[in-house]
Structure 1
Amino acid sequence: MLTIKMMKPFYTLQEGHDLKLVFAYQYFSVVKGKEVYQFIPVESNEIRINLKTKQIENLTDIFVFQRGTRIFRIPLFQLMQISDLVDHLKSIITFYVQQIKTDEEEEALCEEILFLERQNLHRLIDKALLDGNKDLFMALTDRLKLEEATH
């Protein structure tokens, strides 16, 4: 059984819904038996996570750990199965997942506001027609055209 002793990304990079956790020497170590093995970035050095689906995208990447002259290689999917890696990842990505949710909620709210504003504009146009107010009707339809052109 492997356990994660330390797991701190050297840096993180968020691009939209994708989060990249990049690891370097001394930032990632595991305990195998009673011995501590340090991560060495020989093959893969990152974990890519889709924040929307919360899925790891590079499960087949090989991670290499070293203690002295002894080295062991392990695919990420296997490391996840035989260690507490998932718990460590959850604690790292919680902020980013929450940020994505907040951004999506804000975007949905903005879309709802725009929809309501357009509905109100249509009602004002209808009222201008009923009142026979040609100037207001023309101003409102021009505004509607402008709104639709910018969105």
Structure 2
Amino acid sequence: MVTVKLLKPYYIKTDEQTVRVVLAYQYFTLLINQRVFQFIPIEEKEIRVSRENGKIENIHDRFAFQNGKTVIYMSLVELISAPNFLNHLHSIAQPYIQSEETKSVTLKEETEQIIKVLEERNLKRMIDQALDERNKVLFDQLVKLL
């Protein structure tokens, strides 16, 4: 039986598409058959999570764990099957992953900003048209709206 005893990132690196959870000694330990194995960075040392959907991108990468002279290699696919691995990983990556609500709010704000700019440009065009037509009454009304 494999369980995660400790999973803390050494540091977290983000870009537009990915959250990279970088691991180091003593920050990632497993309990395998009642023996504690510590992560050692001899193969892979990071877990990549998509910021868009929260899925692990490098599931086939292998990680090494050591207890004394015994070294065990496990892929992320195997680690995902551990009961609490995903809970630990998602609690680390969640603040960096865009939720549907965040995307919706951001999209709504961007849409409102675009509409505001377009309305302002339209109003300026209408003011120009009123000037071209020498319509002082319409001009005065439109300037008040600006």
- TM-score, normalised on structure 2? 0.79
Q: Tell me how many residue pairs correspond in the alignment.
A: 134
Runs of 4+ in 1 over 6 A off after TM superposition: none
Query: For the residues of structure 2 that align with 1:39 and 1:105, how far apart are their CA atoms?
Result: 39
Identity %: 29
In the alignment, structure 1 segments of 5+ residues that lack a partner are: 137-151
Q: Which has the higher helix share?
A: 1
Query: For the residues of structure 2 that align with 1:33 and 1:116, how far apart are their CA atoms?
Result: 62
Match status 1:18 vs 2:15: no
For 1:24-76, what per-residue CA distance to the aligned partner results, in whole angstroms no more than 9, with x for missing partners? 11110000111100001111110001111111110000011110011111111
Query: For the residues of structure 1 that align with 2:5 and 2:118, how far apart are their CA atoms?
Result: 56
In the alignment, structure 2 segments of 5+ residues that lack a partner are: 135-146
Match status 1:52 vs 2:45: no
**Cα 1:11–1:80 shift into 2, 3 Å:** same
Contact kept? 1:41, 1:64, Cα under 8 Å: yes
RMSD: 2.6
Query: For the residues of structure 1 that align with 2:8 and 2:85, how far apart are their CA atoms?
Result: 12
**Partner AA of 1:134 in structure 2:** D
Question: What does 1:31-50 correspond to in 2, within 5 Å?
Answer: 31-50=31-50
**Partner AA of 1:8 in structure 2:** K
Query: For the residues of structure 2 that align with 1:3 and 1:112, how far apart are their CA atoms?
Result: 48
